[in-house]
Amino acid sequence: MRIKKYLGILGLAIAAVFFLAACGQKNDKNTLTVGVMTMTSSDKARWDKISELLKKENIKLKFKEFTDYSQPNKALKNGEVDVNAFQHRNFLNDWNKKNHGNLVTAAETYISPVNLFPGTENGKAKYTNVKEIPDGAQIAIPNDPTNESRALFLLQAAGLIKLKSSADTLATKKDIKSNPKDLDIKEVDASQTARNLSSVDGAVVNNSYAVPAKLDFKTSLYKEKVTADSKQWVNIIAAQKNWKKSKKAATIKKLIKAYHTDAVKKVIEKTAKGVDEPVW
């Protein structure tokens, strides 16, 4: 009798374990862990809205915040997070090459456009239109390979120069094939582009430096647009290569659908104040 009783208890315990495991798997499919960098107030506002929309579908988002840009893709590759959202295509492609990775773009989100700001004189903008830039004008651009290339393609889009290289390669000043205004393009550290505005006719400044420098985005002579050349700078939601065949495929698709709503677009436009622009 004791053996039967023991077997009966054991059977119930095993059944309970399988039941809880099944429930865990079911709940697991409805939970996504998203890798992000430390959130700004604008980031938090958009993810709060996305979480609110997904809650109606019984989907819960968990966030794993990182402070080092080298970590989110490692976490995604290792399965510590289901997706991440912190980088543009160029960064992901470069990371894959350097780390033998095969992470992919699951969806586009927004672009943080770089701007060509006018030089200043007595604290005021020298020009109000890119066409006003004079012959021989000095333009400051970042000197690191990635941002220099991005700046040169911006100048090309603005109609100031023409390059012989394509957007899938890093351009340098040597790739300029046409410079009608004979611009003097000055390479400086990216952190110094905004500070150079008082001594140059214009500068291409990344948002990460334009915002703390309190530059007036309304004075921008040219803002980066989403074109074939700038598509590599569009921010993305990244996932593992075979995410569409994973058990969380449906949930990730619902995350993307929730992100790509007018409600989230309005939140970005309201909170980012032009620093980020939706592109879906």
Say if residue 99 is in the same domain as residue 134.
no
Which residue range(s) make up the domain with 177?
A: 115-226
Q: Is residue 34 assigned to a domain?
A: yes
Q: Cα separation of 223 and 151, whole Å?
A: 11
- Of the three residues 203, 226, 249, the one that is the final residue of a domain is 226
Provide the greatest CA pair distance for the chain: 101
CATH number of the domain where residue 34 is located: 3.40.190.10
The pLDDT profile of the chain, 280 residues, written as one tens digit per residue, is 555 554 455 555 454 444 444 444 445 889 999 999 999 999 999 999 999 999 999 999 999 999 999 899 999 999 999 999 999 999 999 999 999 999 999 999 999 999 999 999 999 999 999 999 999 999 999 999 889 999 999 999 999 999 998 877 889 999 999 999 999 999 999 999 999 999 999 999 998 899 889 999 999 999 998 888 888 999 999 999 999 999 999 999 999 999 999 999 999 999 998 889 999 9
Q: Is residue 2 assigned to a domain?
A: no
pTM: 0.79
Q: Cα separation of 29 and 203, whole Å?
A: 48
- One-letter amino acid at 23 equals C
* Secondary structure (3-state) at 165: coil
| Number of domains composing the chain | 2
Q: Is residue 127 assigned to a domain?
A: yes
